[in-house]
């Protein structure tokens, strides 16, 4: 599909009224997703789609319109709708706050495309499912999960000189194994190349967690030391992305880092950045406004360093876009990091992290995370698919799932140690047109995390 | 399927968003043996559909063997249907929409102390042409429209938010622009702004077991999370275990599971006028129905598809299969899951009948475990109830509970004249992800000994 998005973007820009600037962003997607449950296939979805969004600026207002049609008439109509919207906004409100489309830049390339993955071979998917079913059966559990591959092309062209395109692939597999008595375990993998997934290994890991012997221990609500696996760390970082590193909330004074940049917000061992071309991430070159992405420190040695901006939030804050627009003209919910990377520490693994813990929890993943109050970074989520009790430095057996309700920054402030092996984690959520994301996270140990009760 | 949407938002006197979109395409769903295959293409032509058919067959055939259940019988759906829409929202000029939102935004900002004022409206039209090898052939057009306000204020003590008529997109109905005109955003805005500023200095909502009155959006979301999702039959059967989760409800518990108190009567109703979960046919060609889910506190039914209904021995699907656009296959989704009205009179009557308690308003946060058992909600505002009267405004209210115990504590539901629909427009489920839009009808209801102040 090479070049579909670039061609669409260029044709749409050419057809759009100029306004005070115009931009066309196009995306094309080819993807395949296989789902399974109870060690049987349940759903298979193959998508081929492409679309374009046109943004026209008039007197500081942005009008946007989108279509997935590709004929000249449809593209011209799309441009007209965007221009009409911008004109109507300008007539209604006088000069608007949008400072104008960013100038063209030269995004750096990356190695985020794998031709084998782009074949979207359903036979590979079928084999992955068979491997998961087999590994689960060997351990007397059932396998549930997802295997998916996709190829996406993004392109942005604008009247201010942006002309960028990139092709990326992604592959994701997760396995949730459930034992006859209801205990579950989770493992997932995400990569640019489908060949880097390990379906039998993932299934074996998930099955091992599900088949752990013993009755789950029930813990009272309270504060406990916790060892978080990378998937759980990734969920916490995702929530922080929305409430702390979100440049719009920050500029409005509602973000969790408002007034705290340059101050200690996390343990000194915490180093977190947004690194769009880090080795094991899903790389990206530019954002929805065509602004080149570049590494951005978020927390350095525990000190809050930056938040992320699109052009609109940067104008509000008096700064510059950091290349985090998810929509031309800005997202009403604000920009968030796309490629977070947390630097690991010296611990060799989960066992080493658990060793100093007298009584605490080992958490494989967090689920249904939500922000309770953004300005406090107060979040809630439940543990799921692999929660264990740590006693006297050993992971001794299963524990019931618990509800975490605590400040995400407070949790990072209580980090005592990090594992040496950081891995790319993703929840694999793909709403709308495909945009795979993930964070690179190590496992870590926190001194005290607040749990408000049992869950599930 | 052909979809049109529009979203207009004004923030602090400036236009924040003016988005208009449309897309069109074909989704083909096939079954080979027991395995499903689905393929989508934007090429809405005979050759495009044929190519999608081949892809769907190919992915179905390359999966491991499956032992899917037979599909429950359904007479082929044929005909045309258009949902209610008096004033086409796409025919209303942008100028009129911006004027309406501008007036509301201005009325919000007339109150000193606001940090952010926001007013928004949205419209959606979905046209579906459905055909099956069983002989179904229908077309259906559904139109949705809605609007809302949000005001934010903050000081050193933190940020407070008030939304109206609801958070998360406001009040959206299956209707035309007449629904937006009927909301009187500008007329209500001063009270909304006044309340958010008052919240800055309001005391925190006390913690501990409390008598709780829920209404509107928050009661709708309570129904959504702890009843609607829990009775989706695909979850009950383990089909969604790896993502949305399972359910504490078992498939063989119809007639046996005590879900709540005898005052709890819940209906899944695809015929509720104005409901976002209303339609004549679902995306599997099954006629929309009104089905009892809970009667006098006992489980009576599930939300189902033709396959899941058949799997547990039901003779007919509940007609709950819906797809989020042409590029997604239909899933078991909620129709309007409604709490039937009771006999407790008006909200004022219910408050007068409550010596001590709290009235909660407007959702702010939500989370529930993967079996739909333990939940936690936060709301924008609360009012204490003392001696049967509303008292002080309280900030940062939150509560938690366990589904059957919580619904078991239901001891009063207001009467039919108080019954309203509330919308949920961001219900995520499925992989690739799908957002569904649904409404929940309820009248204010009272729950005893609810654990407050958990967050």
pLDDT in tens, B181-204: 999 999 999 999 999 999 999 999
CB–CB of A61 and B14 under 8 A? yes
Contacts of A382 in chain B (CB under 8 A): 367-370, 374
Q: What is the CATH number of the domain that holds A61?
A: 3.30.2290.10
Asked, as a colleague might, if the bond just before B432 is cis with ω within 30 of 0, I would say yes
Put simply, whether B428 touches A (Cβ < 8 Å) is yes
H-only helix segments in A268-374: 311-317, 350-354
| Chain B hits for A50, Cβ within 8 Å | 42
Q: Is residue A216 part of a domain?
A: no
Same domain, A153 and A229: no
Q: Cα–Cα distances in Å, from A25 out to A52, A83, A202, B43? A: 6, 15, 36, 20
* Number of domains, chain A: 2
Tell me what pLDDT residue A93 has: 75
Q: For residue B23, list chain A residues with Cβ-Cβ distance below 8 A.
A: 51, 66-69
A85/B94 touch (CB, cutoff 8 Å), yes or no: yes
Sign of the dihedral defined by the CA atoms of residues A348, A353, A356, A362, in that order: negative
- Is the confidence at residue A1, as pLDDT, over 60? no
Tokens of B193: 């702004």
Structure token pair of residue B256: 């046996």
Single residue among A210, A240, A258 that ends a domain in this structure: A210
Tokens describing residue B184? 């009187």
Residue B66: pLDDT band with limits 50, 70, 90: confident
Cβ under 8 Å to A: B residues 32-71: 34-42, 52, 55-56, 58-60, 62-64, 66-68
pLDDT digits (tens, 9 = 90+) for A332-391: 899 999 999 999 999 998 899 999 999 999 999 999 999 999 999 999 999 999 999 999
| Domain identity same for A162 and A264 | no
Check pLDDT > 90 for residue A94: no
Domain of A92, in residue numbers: 4-210
- Which residues in chain B have their CB less than 8 angstroms from residue A405's CB? 376, 454-455
Q: Answer whether A332 touches B (CB < 8 Å).
A: yes
A290 shares its domain with A418: yes
Mean pLDDT, rounded, for B81-95: 97
* Residue in B66, B242, B373 closest to A456 by CB: B373
Residue A351 lies in a domain: yes
Q: Tell if the CB–CB gap between A178 and B25 is shorter than 8 Å.
A: no
B163 vs A contacts (CB less than 8 Å): none
Percent of chain B with pLDDT over 70: 100
ipTM: 0.95
In angstroms, rounded to a whole number, what is the distance separating the alpha carbons of residues A33 and A28?
16
Domain endpoint, select from A210, A242, A266: A210
Closest CA to B283 of B429, B138, B172: B138
Confidence of residue B455 (pLDDT cuts 50, 70, 90): confident
CA–CA gap between residue A18 and residue B179 (Å, rounded): 35
How far is A450 from B269, CA to CA, in rounded Å?
40
Nearest CA in chain B to A69: B23
Q: Is the pLDDT of residue B278 over 90?
A: yes
The CA distance from A324 to A311, in Å, is: 9
Could you tell me the residue ranges of all domains in chain B? 2-16+80-194, 26-71, 208-452
Distances in Å between the Cα of B34 and the Cα atoms of A395, B90, B314 are: 42, 42, 19
Q: Let me know whether A52 and A30 are in one domain.
A: yes
Q: Tell me, yes or no, if B204 comes closer than 8 A to chain A by beta carbon.
A: no
B246: preceding bond cis by omega (within 30 degrees): no
Q: How far apart are CA A302 and CA A244, in angstroms?
A: 14
- The residues with which A297 forms a beta bridge, in sequence order, are A273
Token couple for B273: 């006028």
Pair A427, A343 in one domain: yes
Task: Give the three-class secondary structure for B212.
Answer: strand
* Residue the block writes with tokens 């942006």: A162
Domain boundary among A168, A184, A210: A210
Instruction: Give the tens place of pLDDT for each residue, B291-348.
Output: 999 999 999 999 999 999 999 999 999 999 999 999 999 999 999 999 999 999 999 9
Scan residues 364-383 of B and list those with Cβ closer than 8 Å to A.
364-371, 373-374, 376, 378
Q: What is the pTM of this model?
A: 0.96
Residues A65/A85, Cβ–Cβ less than 8 Å: yes
The alpha-carbon gap from B228 to the nearest alpha carbon of chain A, in Å, equals 17
Per-residue pLDDT tens digits for B357-400? 999 999 999 999 999 999 999 999 999 999 999 999 999 999 99
From the CA of A64, how many Å to the nearest CA of chain B?
5
Classify B2-16+80-194 by CATH class.
alpha beta
Q: Is the pLDDT of residue B101 over 90?
A: yes
The alpha-carbon gap from B417 to the nearest alpha carbon of chain A, in Å, equals: 33
Residues A220-239 have a mean pLDDT of 97
Cα separation values, A52 from A49, A82, A259, Å: 11, 12, 38
Cα–Cα distance between B29 and B283 in angstroms, integer?
A: 11
Q: How far is A450 from chain B (nearest CA, A)?
A: 10
| A27-56 residues touching B, CB cutoff 8 A | 31-38, 40-51, 53
pLDDT (tens digit, 9 = 90+) per residue, A145-203?
999 999 999 999 999 999 999 999 999 999 999 999 999 999 999 999 999 999 999 99
Residue A217 lies in a domain: no
Contact A93 B98 (CB under 8 A): yes
A232 and A332 assigned to the same domain: yes
Residue A393, in any domain of the structure? yes
Indicate the pLDDT class of residue A105, thresholds 50, 70 and 90.
confident
Residue B92 to residue A88: CA distance in whole angstroms? 13
Phi-psi sector, A230: left (phi>0), alpha (psi -120 to 50), beta:
alpha
Q: Do A431 and B428 touch (CB under 8 A)?
A: yes
Asked whether residue B432 carries a pLDDT value surpassing 80, the answer given is yes
- Name the pLDDT band for A218 (thresholds 50, 70, 90): very high
Centroid of chain to Cα A216: 31
Pairing relationship of beta strands A394-398 and A378-391 according to DSSP bridges: antiparallel
Shortest Cα–Cα distance, B356 to chain A (Å): 25
Task: Indicate the pLDDT class of residue A2, thresholds 50, 70 and 90.
Answer: low
Q: Do A370 and A445 share a domain, yes or no?
A: yes
Task: List all residues 6 or more positions away from A32 whose beta carbon is below 8 Å from its beta carbon.
Answer: A44, A45, A46, A47, A120, A122, A125, A148, A149, A150, B59
**CA-based nearest distance A13→chain B, Å:** 16
Which of B285, B353, B342, B331 shows the shortest CA–CA distance to B428?
B331
pLDDT tens digits for B225-249? 999 999 999 999 999 999 999 999 9
Q: Judge whether A455 is closer than 8 Å to chain B, CB to CB.
A: yes
Strand order, beta sheet including A272-274 = A303-304, A296-300, A272-274, A340-342, A439-441, A423-425
Asked whether residue A62 is assigned to any structural domain, the reply reads: yes
- The DSSP code for B341 is P
Q: How many CB pairs under 8 A join A and B?
A: 266
Task: Clarify whether residues A101 and A245 are in a common domain.
Answer: no
- Asked if residue A302 is part of any domain, the answer here is yes
Same domain, A203 and A228: no
Mutate to test the interface with A, among B24, B103, B221, B431 (most CBs of A within 10 A): B431
In angstroms, the Cα distances linking B364 to A383, A422, B361 are 21, 34, 9
Handedness of CA A248, A254, A259, A263 (dihedral sign): negative
């Amino acid at each position: 599909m090479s070049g579909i998005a670039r061609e669409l973007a260029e044709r749409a820009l050419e057809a759009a009224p100029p306004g005070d600037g115009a931009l066309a962003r196009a995306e094309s997607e080819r993807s395949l997703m296989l789902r399974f449950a109870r060690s049987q296939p349940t759903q298979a979805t193959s998508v081929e789609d492409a679309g374009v969004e046109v943004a026209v600026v008039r007197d500081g207002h942005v009008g946007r319109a989108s279509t997935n049609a590709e004929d000249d008439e449809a593209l011209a109509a799309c441009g007209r709708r965007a221009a009409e919207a911008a004109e109507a906004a300008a007539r209604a409100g006088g000069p608007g706050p949008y400072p104008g489309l960013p100038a063209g830049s030269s995004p750096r390339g990356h190695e985020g495309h794998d031709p084998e993955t782009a074949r979207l071979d359903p036979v590979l998917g079928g084999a992955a499912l068979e491997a998961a079913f087999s590994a689960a059966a060997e351990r007397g559990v059932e396998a549930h999960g997802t295997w998916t591959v996709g190829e996406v092309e993004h392109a942005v062209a604008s009247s201010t000189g942006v002309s960028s395109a990139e092709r990326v692939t992604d592959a994701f597999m997760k396995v949730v194994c459930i034992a006859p008595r209801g205990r579950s375990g989770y493992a997932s993998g995400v990569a640019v190349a489908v060949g880097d997934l390990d379906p039998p290994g993932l299934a074996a890991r998930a099955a091992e967690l599900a088949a752990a012997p013993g009755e789950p221990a029930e813990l009272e609500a309270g504060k406990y030391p916790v060892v978080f696996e990378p998937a759980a760390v990734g969920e916490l970082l995702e929530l922080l992305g929305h409430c702390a590193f979100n440049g719009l909330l920050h500029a409005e004074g509602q973000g969790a880092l408002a007034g705290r940049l340059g101050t200690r917000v996390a343990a000194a061992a915490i180093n977190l950045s947004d690194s769009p071309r880090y080795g094991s991430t899903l790389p990206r070159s530019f954002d929805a406004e065509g602004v080149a992405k570049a590494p951005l420190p978020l927390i350095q040695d525990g000190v809050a360093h930056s938040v992320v901006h699109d052009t609109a939030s940067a104008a509000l804050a008096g700064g510059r876009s950091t290349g985090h627009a998810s929509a031309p003209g800005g997202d009403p919910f604000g920009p968030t990091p796309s490629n977070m990377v947390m630097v690991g520490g010296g611990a060799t693994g989960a066992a080493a992290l658990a060793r100093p813990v007298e009584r605490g929890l080992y958490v494989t993943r967090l689920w249904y995370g939500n922000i309770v109050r953004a300005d406090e970074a107060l979040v809630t989520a439940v543990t799921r698919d692999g929660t264990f009790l740590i006693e006297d430095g050993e992971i001794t057996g299963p524990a019931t799932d618990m509800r975490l309700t605590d400040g995400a920054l407070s949790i990072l402030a209580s980090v005592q140690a990090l594992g040496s092996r950081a891995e790319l984690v993703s929840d694999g959520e793909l709403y709308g047109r495909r945009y795979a994301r993930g964070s690179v996270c190590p496992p870590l140990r926190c001194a005290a995390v607040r749990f408000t009760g049992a869950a599930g | 399927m052909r979809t049109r949407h529009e979203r207009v938002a004004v923030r602090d006197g400036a236009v924040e968003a003016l988005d208009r979109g449309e897309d069109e395409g074909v989704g083909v769903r096939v079954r080979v043996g027991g395995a499903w295959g689905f393929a989508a293409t934007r090429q809405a032509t005979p050759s495009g559909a044929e190519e999608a058919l081949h892809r769907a067959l190919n992915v179905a055939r390359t999966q491991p063997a499956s032992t899917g259940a037979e599909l429950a019988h359904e007479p082929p759906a044929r005909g045309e249907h258009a949902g209610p829409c008096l004033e086409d929202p796409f025919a209303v000029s942008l100028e009129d929409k911006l004027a309406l939102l501008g007036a509301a935004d201005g009325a919000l900002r007339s109150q000193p102390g606001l940090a952010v004022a926001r007013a928004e409206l949205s419209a959606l039209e979905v046209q579906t042409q459905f055909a099956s090898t069983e002989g179904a052939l229908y077309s259906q057009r559904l139109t949705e429209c809605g609007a809302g306000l949000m005001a934010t204020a903050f000081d050193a003590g933190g940020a407070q938010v008030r939304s109206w008529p609801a958070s998360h997109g406001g009040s959206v109905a299956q209707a035309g622009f007449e629904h937006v005109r009927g909301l009187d955003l500008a007329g209500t805005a001063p009270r909304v702004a006044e309340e958010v500023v008052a919240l800055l200095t309001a005391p925190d909502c006390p913690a501990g077991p409390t008598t709780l009155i829920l209404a509107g959006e928050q009661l709708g979301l309570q129904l959504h999370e702890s009843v609607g999702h829990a009775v989706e039959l695909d979850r009950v059967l383990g089909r969604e275990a790896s993502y949305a989760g399972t359910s504490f409800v078992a498939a063989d518990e119809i007639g046996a599971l005590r879900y709540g108190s005898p005052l709890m009567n819940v209906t899944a109703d695809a015929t509720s006028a104005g409901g976002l979960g209303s339609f004549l046919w679902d995306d599997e060609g099954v006629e929309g129905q009104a089905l009892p889910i809970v009667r006098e506190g006992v489980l009576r039914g599930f939300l189902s598809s033709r396959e899941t209904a058949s799997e547990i021995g039901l003779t007919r699907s509940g007609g709950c299969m819906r797809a989020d656009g042409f590029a997604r296959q239909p899933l078991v989704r909620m129709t309007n899951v409604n709490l039937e009205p009771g006999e407790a009179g008006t909200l004022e009557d219910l408050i007068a009948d409550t010596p001590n308690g709290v009235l909660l308003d407007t959702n702010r946060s939500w989370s529930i475990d993967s079996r739909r058992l333990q939940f936690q909600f936060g709301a924008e505002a609360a009012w204490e109830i003392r001696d049967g009267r509303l008292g002080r405004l309280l900030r940062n209210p939150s509560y938690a509970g366990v589904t059957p115990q919580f619904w078991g504590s239901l001891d009063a539901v207001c009467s039919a004249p108080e019954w309203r629909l509330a919308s949920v427009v961001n219900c995520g489920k499925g992989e690739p992800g799908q957002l569904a839009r649904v409404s929940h009808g309820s009248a204010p209801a009272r729950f005893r000994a609810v654990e407050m102040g958990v967050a």
